[in-house]
Structure 1
Amino acid sequence: MALLAALAAGACADNGSADASARVGKPAKVDPADFVKKIDNPYLPLAPGTKLHYKGVTKDGPQEDLVEVTHRTKKILGVRTVVVRDTATERGKVVEVTDDWYAQDRKGNVWYFGEDSKTIKNGKVTSTEGSWEAGRKGARPGIVMKAHPKPGDKYRQEHAKGVAEDRAEVLSTDARVSVPYGTFRDVLKTKDDSPLEPELVENKFYAKGVGSVREVAVKGEKDELELVKVDKPRPHSPQR
């Protein structure tokens, strides 16, 4: 799963109904009229042209991750989603490229509509495992970031049975985190896992106005990624 394709909850147009949907584990229906063009949730702002650079380590060694909020869009279930490309490299070689699809509703919840993930070895695609798209094969979207997260919130992030079933729990909204890019307070901290991989658990940290700044495995693998640089969009970047 890509870095920012973090976890999406059983979604709905307002925050309260999203909570209810998540509790029963059922995804809500999608109404394109409930969505807006701009993704400006404080914990996950996705302005086209933004590039976030991460460095860290995985079980396979040092890794770098580039997350690019593109100017491209993709219509899914009638909703215009923003395409975010995540490129992971190890020792200078690309090992995974993922396009993630996000959209924000009128209440400020950021929905996750799926991903096109490609594992690459020696320049060739060797696997598309984990790929899914809402509306296909029974998959439904979820919420990757709530409008008003609070400690104790638990929610499903993906609804693709047997393929992608990530979920999250909000642990804190007042964490303090230091990464190469800077020191942040009032950070949102989540616990992320999946019933498909019960042996793995991660903590993720989101800073207001920036997005994801750190993720670290706390059970299973020893993976860790930290934000080292942000390239902000140019003032007059064209919108498509």
Structure 2
Amino acid sequence: MRTRALAALAALTLAGAVLAGCGSASAPSAPTGVDGLEIPTPDPRPADFVARIGNPWLPLAVGSRWEYADLATGSVDLTLTVEAGPSVDGVATTTLVRAAADGAVVRDLYAQDRAGNVWWFGREGQWQAGEGGAEAGLAMPAAPRFGDGFRTASAPGLSEVATVADVGEEITVPLATYHRTVTLDVEDATGVRTETYARGVGLVRTDDAGLVAYEPGRE
């Protein structure tokens, strides 16, 4: 996948140069977080992607199922399931189906690159990468880093940015307590929602709903 130096990386490089002038700089660190990624990506190459999504923070194995309940009432208000997805812009995708208690269903398409980053390739019936100027954005980095911000997608009428708000916070939901977590603040036209992901499980809390059941897929 094509890469470019992001502003954050440029700032770090500049800071390193200043320190070097003082004679106290250490060797530069290898890129991490979202450094070097072109987000959104205008021309994803199919050869840069893998068939399955195994990112530990967003594992989307076909057959997986998550249920979330309102933390105040205990009623289940969201169910997620994973299915095989269509090819989008030449890339094989995985479909995450979001079913709300009111009957609304949303089908989002994701794919993982060889480095382990998960990209959002579209929402069925609304937009799809490679069509109408839409481009795939980053859904979850391979190695989330506190403070990183990134576009989750680029499509007409869609403006959404995610920021890594916390790494390693202890989160307790009805199903369990998790210590290895990543929390994203996701801002769009409707406001900001908070999503917490546990390593090896995926999404465990979103705003006022917490995980009550989880069944891993067959992959």
Range into which the TM-score falls when normalised by the shorter chain: 0.7 to 0.9
> Distance in 1 between the 2:215 and 2:116 partners?
24
Inter-CA distance 166–63: structure 2 relative to 1 (3 Å threshold): farther
**2:71–2:210 Cα contact (<8 Å) kept:** no
Aligned residue in 1 for 2:135? 140
Structure having the higher strand fraction is 1
Deviation at 1:57, TM superposition (A): 7.2
Residue 141 of structure 1: SS of its match in structure 2?
Answer: strand
Larger radius of gyration: 2
Residue 100 of structure 2: SS of its match in structure 1?
Answer: strand
Inter-CA distance 12–28: structure 2 relative to 1 (3 Å threshold): farther
Give TM-score, length-normalised by structure 2: 0.79
| Cα RMSD, aligned residues only | 2.4
> Distance in 2 between the 1:232 and 1:185 partners?
19
Aligned residue in 2 for 1:86? 98
Deviation at 1:29, TM superposition (A): 2.2
Aligned residue in 1 for 2:119? 111
**1:214–1:225 Cα contact (<8 Å) kept:** yes
Deviation at 1:189, TM superposition (A): 1.0
**1:66–1:88 Cα contact (<8 Å) kept:** yes
Q: Does 1:152 align with 2:166?
A: no
Q: What is the identity, as a one-letter code, of the residue corresponding to 1:48?
A: V
Inter-CA distance 232–80: structure 2 relative to 1 (3 Å threshold): same
**2:67–2:76 Cα contact (<8 Å) kept:** no
Query: 5+ residue gaps in structure 2?
Result: 5-30
> Distance in 1 between the 2:164 and 2:88 partners?
27
Aligned residue in 1 for 2:202? 211
Q: What is the identity, as a one-letter code, of the residue corresponding to 2:195?
A: K
Give TM-score, length-normalised by structure 1: 0.72
Q: Does 1:174 align with 2:187?
A: no
Aligned residue in 1 for 2:8? none
Deviation at 1:84, TM superposition (A): 1.7
Residue 35 of structure 2: SS of its match in structure 1?
Answer: helix
Query: 5+ residue gaps in structure 1?
Result: 1-10, 118-130, 217-223
Residue 33 of structure 1: SS of its match in structure 2?
Answer: helix
- How many residues align? The count is 189
**1:12–1:29 Cα contact (<8 Å) kept:** no
Deviation at 1:55, TM superposition (A): 1.4
Residue 135 of structure 2: SS of its match in structure 1?
Answer: coil
Counting only pairs closer than 5 Å after superposition, residues 20-99 of structure 1 correspond to structure 2 as 21-22=38-39, 27-56=41-70, 64-70=77-83, 72-90=84-102, 94=103, 96-99=104-107
Aligned residue in 2 for 1:125? none
Deviation at 1:17, TM superposition (A): 2.3
Inter-CA distance 54–172: structure 2 relative to 1 (3 Å threshold): same
Deviation at 1:89, TM superposition (A): 1.1
